[in-house]
Structure 1
């Protein structure tokens, strides 16, 4: 039997990428081969995001582009999975007859079963299950990220119920994996050559709250840092009120835990934070940042803000702008509020015009770019640890990598102008120049893998 070629395009966040990897892991190699070329694929899978309007539009555009491969390529089966069909299954089935199979956020492990069912039925199928799945260390998974870096999802779903967010409806309530399962998976990844593990969840600080075995993030980290060959352990998506003194102390005392924290704040105006159903106020934010900076001075702090939330006045925005200009955060992402059907915030009065949202977004990003440039300039002459990722996309005369202060895919890069190292090595680098988002420097020692 000829093997069918499968191409999977995953959109959105790393949590979505893990779902895609699980899906690929369930494809038996005696029946399927994986290709990165859409034109060569017999089966094309689009794993979608539907978090905000921009993500939905990107998903739809990608699906429509994929339909061309049914017309002009080898594709005979077009599958759309993930958040978009979980949310809009009926509408998508009606409006996209070119799509053969729809699967939801909890259906990755059912991919082969559903492919077989479609091939028998020969017509469009919409098979959206409840968003209640949770993979573990035994779940088949084909790593799509580079061999030296992996994402490990420690929990699925969310129970925070922020008023602007649709995630609980798409992903379900918080479901934490056991500590033993996570430690086993990380050991497996490290044994396969992974040097950097990125722990992800909708809110990693909520890890264990739903369990009855006393699992906590702090205890999980104590076990993970004992894994010998693990070099970098990065914490992504931490809810502000879940940052304990114990967690800060762990970051301060264990070299394997990257001095990096992704800490989404969303705003700093107290009345907007209450309207967003965030469990922190401006005074709490200031105290938290001070606690972090005092105990972990070298910490890289990343956050995200929403502009144009209903009722955001010019004064509210000025508070946010002034906060960003203080330079307390090294990295900032800015999102325009997206009025999502089914969320509490969609029913609020005083919705902000889109034009004003874009204006505020641009202004805030420009302010942060000035902050980023100043912070990077201050790094000149310093030595940092850099994970080498290969030749630069700009020129094969330079190596590129990421500093310990740069998370994969969302932060900048390091361009290496002198010195040699292998892909996956962690090397000391002296910074010679900077831009707003990238660093430039030279490897200062021939020996790789210095802490």
Structure 2
């Protein structure tokens, strides 16, 4: 029997990417995977439902892919992910183009659901909810072969007032250290050099199953896996960063000196309204401690502007923090009023035009910070992983750069370099966000 061709469109965060890779890994032996939706007979859209803009992108993508049923070879449209988990049958009713609708806990059933649809040719709704399923399994990587995301936990227990994730993804559930290490070994055997650890809150790892924070131990054990050269940490809440974790980052050569701290704001007034389990003093203390104990560490954060009740004084406090502490990379998001969250019912909602103004102003501050920091990198040498070529340049990332969200290094060389090679690059020029460099020869002048 000829295999159906399946295409995948994955939206949202890197945790969603892991879900998409699990789906593809689950169905890979039954179907032919294609990157061309025009050739796909089955199209899967893995949606994001975190904020309004992401929801709209997901809906637009489903409708766009639905057109392939009329114009090309598509016979079946499957929607899954956070949006479908959140809105369930309502979405299926509003979008009759969807043939199978799944949530975030049914990926391992997808082949059976496809067969059931083929047999019965009736719409299928399978957005079940379970706090137990972490969806371990074989993955088909969609990243470059030398880099892979490893999800060490699912769900979240923080219940920030603006966030719907706990209601979509459930309570925080750590994977066992053994299952994570098994996955890392398998990835390493496939040639993966950079392991990027992700979870909604990395620093809470182990608290549910081991009754204590075990992230530093997990990192240490991963670093012992042969073939792993870089370990990167994304989404570490500042209040949970322990001295043991800082020490492991400092002394372990395989842990890149890079940390993502999603602080969201710096004003104690707003942090309290957000129900964040931290305050300004704790955030500043951990930034200072990290910079003291791990010299040269790269710090990234995400911020929310326009949260209900954010005053001019609160916003100025945030601006001053960015100017004073000069974080290496910052993502700024406008507050999104999400139904089902406490913040949606708060007084003093901020007008959208003010949110936009504040977002633009913060990004201008950060642009100047990045340009200032990048100029200081000229003449320095960085280990750089090569990821492709564009024109006369090879494209690479230093350990200070996470894939797809930070800058890149444009490498000028006549040498033959392969994707996945880690080479020493000397920086020659600083652009707005990117750098230009050349292969460093330590024996030349």
Pick which of 424-433 and 118-127 moved more: 118-127
Partner Cα distance (1:436, 1:248) in 2: 31
Per the TM alignment, residue 120 of structure 1 is displaced from its structure 2 partner at its CA by 2.0
Partner Cα distance (1:376, 1:434) in 2: 6
Per the TM alignment, residue 330 of structure 1 is displaced from its structure 2 partner at its CA by 0.3
CA contact (8 A) 1:200 1:237 kept: yes
Partner Cα distance (1:45, 1:445) in 2: 47
**Residue in 1 that maps onto 2:237:** 239
Partner Cα distance (1:370, 1:11) in 2: 30
* 1:319 equivalent among 285, 303, 317: 317
**Residue in 1 that maps onto 2:404:** 409
**Residue in 1 that maps onto 2:393:** 398
Per the TM alignment, residue 214 of structure 1 is displaced from its structure 2 partner at its CA by 5.3
Per the TM alignment, residue 73 of structure 1 is displaced from its structure 2 partner at its CA by 0.7
Show CA shifts across 1:83-109 (max 9, x none). 011011122111110110100011111
Partner Cα distance (2:384, 2:198) in 1: 21
Partner Cα distance (2:371, 2:178) in 1: 42
Structure 1: gaps spanning 5 or more residues: none
**Residue in 2 that maps onto 1:431:** 427
Partner Cα distance (1:131, 1:149) in 2: 30
Partner Cα distance (2:213, 2:260) in 1: 22
Partner Cα distance (1:242, 1:328) in 2: 22
CA contact (8 A) 2:303 2:330 kept: yes
CA contact (8 A) 2:105 2:135 kept: no
Per the TM alignment, residue 409 of structure 1 is displaced from its structure 2 partner at its CA by 1.2
Partner Cα distance (1:445, 1:70) in 2: 55
CA contact (8 A) 2:265 2:271 kept: yes
**Residue in 2 that maps onto 1:8:** 8
Show CA shifts across 1:326-383 (max 9, x none). 2431000000000111111111100001111011001100110000000001100000
Matched, 1:21 2:60: no
Partner Cα distance (1:411, 1:378) in 2: 17
CA contact (8 A) 2:267 2:280 kept: yes
Per the TM alignment, residue 166 of structure 1 is displaced from its structure 2 partner at its CA by 0.4
Cα distance change on mapping 1:215 and 1:304 into 2, 3 Å: closer
Partner Cα distance (1:34, 1:261) in 2: 34
TM-score when scaled to structure 2?
0.97
Partner Cα distance (2:247, 2:230) in 1: 17
CA contact (8 A) 1:420 1:443 kept: no
SS of the equivalent of 2:258 reads: strand
TM-score when scaled to structure 1?
0.96
**Residue in 2 that maps onto 1:168:** 166
CA contact (8 A) 1:431 1:441 kept: yes
Cα distance change on mapping 1:446 and 1:3 into 2, 3 Å: farther
SS of the equivalent of 1:40 reads: coil
SS of the equivalent of 1:399 reads: strand
Q: Provide the alpha-carbon RMSD of the alignment.
A: 1.3
Show CA shifts across 1:251-301 (max 9, x none). 111110010000000000001101101111111111111100001111000
Per the TM alignment, residue 131 of structure 1 is displaced from its structure 2 partner at its CA by 4.0
The within-5 A match list for 1:43-82 is 43-82=42-81
SS of the equivalent of 2:27 reads: coil
Partner Cα distance (1:308, 1:279) in 2: 20
Partner Cα distance (1:18, 1:111) in 2: 16
Cα distance change on mapping 1:43 and 1:446 into 2, 3 Å: farther
Partner Cα distance (2:399, 2:134) in 1: 29
Pick which of 216-225 and 257-266 moved more: 216-225
